[in-house]
Amino acid sequence: MNLLLHNLLGNKPKGFGLEIEDSYIKAFQLKGSKSGFLMVSGNLRPLRKGIIQDGQVVQVEELAKEIKELLKSSRPKPIKSKFVVFSVPETKSFIRTIQIPKMSREEAGEAVKWETEANIPVSLDKVYLDWQTIDSNEKNNDVLVVAVPKEVVDGYCRAVFLSGLIPLAVEVDIIATIRSLTSEENNKEPILIADIGADKTSLAICKNKIPYFSSSIPLCGKTFTDALQKGLGISYGKAEELKEKYGLGKMKKDDMLYNIYNPLVENLAVEIDRSINFYSESINVQEKVERVVLSGGGSLLRELADYLSLRLGKEVVVGDPEIGLGTNKDKAINIARDLSPFSTSIGLAMRGLDYEN
């Protein structure tokens, strides 16, 4: 969704990406250069409970304040750009691929509306809708459609404006994640991306950088901390600390950590399998998904990728947002030791750079 306000202001925007989720907000600024992208600055900031609930902004003013603080605290220097591309959560969005007959662009717009109306559980006048043709043959066009309830977008938008920023575009988080984690070359075959955040895990299957399937499941980073807290009878903070330090451990049967974590990893594996089967049976029939890419803070859980790989019988790796950026590793060190939690905000910042030209 484009909110091209900068034209009115006659200003050349320098965009940055802002991921807004229930538990964290994250900013990332990039600069375009001849050889690709340069990382300029970024940071993340936890949000108090209640500011955003289940993907919807509850306390607009509080969120605006937090955004300002985030920009001030960004490393190695504060983000001063006024223009931003921000995200809304997959849980609140509808991403669909539909097929329409070949026709003029105007007629296609109408056809997309009809087809989308039949495909989403919300009436069309209550959503912002965006679409693009992704493939075509002699008779038909395949179209990617994204719809997000106005009520949801407007809440985020109010907070962004109130923080003094001007939105260039709004994007569904998982679409931005796909942009930073994939390249033309490495996505010729379909892959499944699992973005394991604090409050949800979004699953997407993409090919040629286009999402053909997406959904979110409640199993997430917090689920692992909760299980550890209950299993060991310790505080949430201590559990979070242990989780980050030890990860899954050795995952040997009857081991304490195994008993706590195995049902969760098993659940995640089942959901990944289910999505992959759905893709092969209903979306691109016969196409196999052999690679799984993990993202988000939850992907940093030690041993998770290896264990999932064993369980799924597929290649499972922790995604690297620099694949989409095409830059080299050392430059990130000023901003974060590990970029996985920033995959989405980096993808948003890449979109922001489009507006600089």
Residues interacting with ligand ADP, by CB under 6 A? 21, 23-24, 197-199, 221-222, 225, 240, 243-244, 296-298, 300-301, 341
The encoded tokens of residue 106 equal 């105007």
Measured from the CB of residue 287, what is the shortest distance to Mg ion in angstroms? 27
199 binds, among Mg ion, ligand ADP, none (CB under 5 to 8 A by kind): ligand ADP
Which CB, 214 or 225, lies closer to ligand ADP? 225
Which of 42, 197, 221, 324 touches Mg ion by CB under 5 A?
197
Distances in Å between the Cα of 78 and the Cα atoms of 25, 43, 159, 337, 340 are 15, 9, 19, 18, 21
| Listed residue (95, 90, 101, 131) closest to 113, CA to CA | 131
297 binds, among Mg ion, ligand ADP, none (CB under 5 to 8 A by kind): ligand ADP
Which CB, 199 or 322, lies closer to Mg ion? 199
Cβ-proximal residues to 164 (8 Å cutoff; 6+ apart), any chain: 68, 82
Which CB, 153 or 346, lies closer to Mg ion? 346
Measured from the CB of residue 104, what is the shortest distance to ligand ADP in angstroms? 40
Measured from the CB of residue 21, what is the shortest distance to Mg ion in angstroms? 5
Segment (H or E) for 265: helix 256-278
The encoded tokens of residue 186 equal 């490495």
Length of the chain: 357
Which CB, 260 or 339, lies closer to Mg ion? 339
Which CB, 347 or 352, lies closer to Mg ion? 347
Contact 290, 314 (CB under 8 A): yes
Measured from the CB of residue 23, what is the shortest distance to Mg ion in angstroms? 9
Distances in Å between the Cα of 167 and the Cα atoms of 26, 81, 148, 318 are 15, 11, 16, 30
* Identity of residue 281: E
- Which residues of the shown chain bind Mg ion in the complex (CB under 5 A)? 197, 344
